[in-house]
Structure 1
Amino acid sequence: MSDFNKQAGSLTEKAGISPPEITNVSAINQIKNKRRQQPSAEELISGILLGNRTALSRAITLVESTNPEHTEKAEEIIKGCLPHANKSIRIGITGVPGVGKSTFIEAFGTYLTQAGKKVAVLAVDPSSTISHGSILGDKTRMEELVKDENAFIRPSASGENLGGVARKTRETIILCEAAGFDTIIIETVGVGQSETAVHSMVDFFLLLKISGAGDELQGIKRGIMEMADAIVINKADGDNIKKANQAKLEFNRALHLFPPKKSNWQPKVTTCSAITKDGISDIWNTISDYFEMTKESGFFQEKRNEQNHFWMMETINEQLKSNFYNQPGIIAQMEQIKKAVQNDEISPFAAAQFLLNEYKKGF
């Protein structure tokens, strides 16, 4: 019996060490208060102009925010940064998923920083339709570039925007330029719809391809190829070198069938390997030739002016749409009208006109 009691006693749970009580409450409160404090627009502008990445990141967060309280502050920041912007070159990079965009951008961005450039990468991630969070996590896949002192990577979830273009990418470019970044790279999701929007905010549009995908002779890619200023066959290494060179020939033949560009630039086709870094310098030489030619002809500034007008109209359209759906009168009647349309009690066109008339009454 005594042996049993000894065994039972050895199995009983002993009192552990209780966690220490929080003794420095004031220090905890100071940390919490500091986190609650938001820097003013003037402080963020000053930080951005000094190249402070924390200030830049916080300002971009305000610009991307859909909180109405942040809109006025974000507009003030953009206004303060605008005189210091427009001093960079903007490069759009697209390609289907799996073409190696992130690996290429890391190799290309590293090459530029080593050449003395300051590079900002705006990677537009597709968003989950369930949680609305980013899926690809581009920043985590550019392990070397993210540690580079002359590089800044900002992934942004695309949300519900057409084709995955982040809603405030255009304004983010202005902030990055004001922070001293002279080369802005915008990576699209590569799903076939966002390319038009990105093309309207960059100076040079680069299309990444891989050999053996069957695109060389297909006409379905005509639209995206017409926008491209250069086509790069990626993954030209190992056994793929021969296939990549063959793809280069096919794309060169296809490009000669397209009408001349307004810039009079003849798009170039080249091969590269983001893994071995072969061909990266040739791509930068091509881009440099493009900028030299378009700046001399005046097309560079002409295109920038057209883009500014385009984004003014886009902003007006976006604001009108937002005002329409947030007007109390529209909100109150939307569900009822929607049900009437679904039940064929009223045509979609008549319903739309009715809501528009109701919207006009608010003015």
Structure 2
Amino acid sequence: MDIEDLAERILAGERRALARGITLVESGRADHKTMARALLERLRGSGREAMRIGLSGTPGVGKSTFIESFGMMLVAQGLRVAVLAVDPSSARTGGSILGDKTRMERLSRSRQAFIRPSPAQSHLGGVARRTREAIALCEAAGFDVVLIETVGVGQSETVVAEMSDLFLLLLAPAGGDELQGVKRGIMETADIILINKADGDLKATATRTCADYAGALRLLRKRPQDPEGFPKALTVSAALERGLETAWAEINALADWRRETGHFAGRRAEQARFWFEAEVREGLLARLRREPVKGAMAALAAQVEAGQISAELAADELLETYLGESLPT
């Protein structure tokens, strides 16, 4: 594979080259990893920056419908939109339906849009292992907005906040005890809460739900990266395409304020450090899966199972032998 040629085609905005680049960074093969690193390094200085928007929500809330309507609105404004949709995977086979592209029929046909479904596999937060690198490729390809759709709501979902500029939480009205429907960790991460399906018989319920969440948000501790009035709750109807322009205006208002105050660049710098440390941890874990460490670990695990040695002492021995470190006392 000619990495230089692939990089030039990605910079030229070729969607097929972008898809090939994402496939490369998602590959687990050692030779592909080397090429992926070379590709990312080649594109790192492109100077292109997209608005990275994370999106989460409970199953059935209408995330795909929202993304399609929202994406079509942005395309109509002349913007290029990339969607990185992460689908749930089978814990047994790692397989995934990858149905998001099918559900976003209109957006998938637009020349100004790019949709890439990926299996979540076992990675926490419903984010594919290399979603962060896929975002970098989409930015290099000249996309203005990158939407990262995650699997669903859970405490580990906060991982998406470490790769996005803004985090949207999509909720449905009439979901029972609404304020108990979402964990506090997600509430504290969200920048804007969107109550979807605010139409028809559910419109009044959606309005009440929005008021409930607006009140709950005011009780949360003030974050330094928020101007007055944020985070906030809004109502939208993805099916009828209502409230989307208001949501986009609020997203831009928040992003502009963060840029002016330095929070935008500061947050991206913090994220870069977070992912550097994550790569170090992943590299250390990878060493445990290779010989001779893998064999030594299996032997020590057998001794632990037999009660011949404690788990703490076995771990200490393994780390001291292969990493030159002992566990802290």
* TM-score, with length taken from structure 2: 0.94
Q: Report how far residue 101 of structure 1 moved.
A: 0.8
Q: Which residue of 1 aligns with 2:268?
A: 304
- Matched-pair contact (CA < 8 Å) for 1:124–1:156: yes
C-alpha distance 85-302 of structure 1, shift in aligned 2 (>3 A): same
Q: Report how far residue 186 of structure 1 moved.
A: 0.3
Correspondent of 1:336 among 299, 302, 324: 299
Correspondent of 1:128 among 83, 90, 101: 90
Correspondent of 1:238 among 193, 196, 200: 200
For the residues of structure 2 that align with 1:159 and 1:193, how far apart are their CA atoms? Answer: 17
The reply on whether 1:50 has 2:2 as its aligned counterpart is no
- Matched-pair contact (CA < 8 Å) for 2:167–2:192: yes
The reply on whether 1:282 has 2:246 as its aligned counterpart is yes
Correspondent of 1:92 among 39, 44, 54: 54
For the residues of structure 1 that align with 2:67 and 2:156, how far apart are their CA atoms? Answer: 18
Correspondent of 1:59 among 12, 16, 21: 21
Q: Which residue of 1 aligns with 2:317?
A: 354
5+ long unaligned stretches in structure 2 = none
Q: Which residue of 2 aligns with 1:251?
A: 213
Aligned counterparts, 1:144-223, within 5 A: 144-218=106-180, 221-223=183-185
For the residues of structure 1 that align with 2:98 and 2:135, how far apart are their CA atoms? Answer: 21
Report sequence identity in percent: 47
Q: Report how far residue 338 of structure 1 moved.
A: 2.1
For the residues of structure 1 that align with 2:152 and 2:97, how far apart are their CA atoms? Answer: 13
For the residues of structure 2 that align with 1:175 and 1:103, how far apart are their CA atoms? Answer: 25
Moved more, 349-358 or 166-175: 349-358
C-alpha distance 194-135 of structure 1, shift in aligned 2 (>3 A): farther
Equivalent position amino acid for 1:269 in 2: A
- Matched-pair contact (CA < 8 Å) for 1:188–1:194: no
For the residues of structure 2 that align with 1:332 and 1:159, how far apart are their CA atoms? Answer: 26
Query: Residues 50-76 of structure 1, C-alpha deviation per residue, up to 9 Å, x if partnerless?
Result: 111111111111111110011111111
Q: Report how far residue 215 of structure 1 moved.
A: 4.7
Q: Which residue of 2 aligns with 1:110?
A: 72
- Matched-pair contact (CA < 8 Å) for 2:74–2:81: yes
SS where residue 245 of structure 1 aligns? helix
- Matched-pair contact (CA < 8 Å) for 2:287–2:293: no
SS where residue 232 of structure 1 aligns? strand
Q: Report how far residue 194 of structure 1 moved.
A: 4.2
For the residues of structure 2 that align with 1:219 and 1:107, how far apart are their CA atoms? Answer: 25
Aligned-residue RMSD, C-alpha: 1.7
SS where residue 86 of structure 2 aligns? strand
For the residues of structure 2 that align with 1:136 and 1:52, how far apart are their CA atoms? Answer: 22
Moved more, 156-165 or 254-263: 156-165
For the residues of structure 2 that align with 1:173 and 1:85, how far apart are their CA atoms? Answer: 14
- Matched-pair contact (CA < 8 Å) for 1:128–1:135: no
Q: Which residue of 1 aligns with 2:224?
A: 262
Query: Residues 188-219 of structure 1, C-alpha deviation per residue, up to 9 Å, x if partnerless?
Result: 11141442111011111100011122353338
Q: Report how far residue 86 of structure 1 moved.
A: 4.7
For the residues of structure 1 that align with 2:324 and 2:29, how far apart are their CA atoms? Answer: 26
SS where residue 116 of structure 1 aligns? coil
For the residues of structure 2 that align with 1:132 and 1:205, how far apart are their CA atoms? Answer: 27
**Rg larger in structure:** 1
Q: Report how far residue 292 of structure 1 moved.
A: 1.5
